[in-house]
Chains A and B, each alone.
Chain A
Amino acid sequence: DAKTTQPPSMDCAEGRAANLPCNHSTISGNEYVYWYRQIHSQGPQYIIHGLKNNETNEMASLIITEDRKSSTLILPHATLRDTAVYYCIVRVRGSGNTGKLIFGQGTTLQVKP
């Protein structure tokens, strides 16, 4: 599985966009990028995933570079409730694989008023 690198912490002003980067320079062609977040004292929460196209859902947008060596999770209008640890995970998806998630240290996002 490809290794991911994320900054340990970031700050964002409330109401502004939060852009969380993730480097995955060893990613292979069949590996997906997944994002989860963990609000303090809760279980992780799935946010979004993608392979090579940009993706958007009600929570966030995922921008993957053309060479797929990095990606950015965008929270368009961060609120105080978005303060959490954000995990970027890269994994092959498909038959023969388990759903094992490999979490790194993640990025602690602090949204400030």
Chain B
Amino acid sequence: DAGVTQSPTHLIKTRGQQVTLRCSPISGHKSVSWYQQVLGQGPQFIFQYYEKEERGRGNFPDRFSARQFPNYSSELNVNALLLGDSALYLCASSLLLAEWTQYFGPGTRLLVL
């Protein structure tokens, strides 16, 4: 069975640009969460979506937004990119909302110049 997939794997943007990252969860999983991991730190929670609704949001500015589609795939959008947005963006899927056995994708590495 396919695991969590993310695209693209790498991305280079310049300050002020906008970026969209994509995630496909494991088949049957209805929850998708997004995390940001800056070099040398543990992942930081950004959003959780369950059944197409936002169910949790971390301490990130409004420049970060996300959505979940009817097929449970998800997109993370970041507007007005800053140098500090350079990070590994991880997507995780789980069967249920309050499920901590989450399955992570390989991540998208974003570099903002």
Contacts and interface: CB of A to CB of B under 8 A. Distances in A.
A99 B100 contact: yes
Interface string B74-100: 000000000000000010101011111
A29 interface: no
A44 B4 CA distance: 12
A53 B87 CA distance: 37
Interface residues of B, number: 28
A105 B38 CA distance: 12
Interface string A93-109: 11111111111111000
A34 B102 CA distance: 11
Interface of B: 4, 31, 33, 35, 41-45, 48, 55-56, 58, 90, 92, 94, 96-107
Interface of A: 32, 34, 42-46, 49, 85, 87, 89, 91, 93-106
Given A99-B98, A100-B56, A101-B43, 14 more contacts: A42-B104, A42-B106, A43-B4, A44-B43, A44-B90, A44-B104, A46-B102, A96-B98, A98-B55, A99-B99, A99-B100, A99-B102, A100-B33, A100-B48
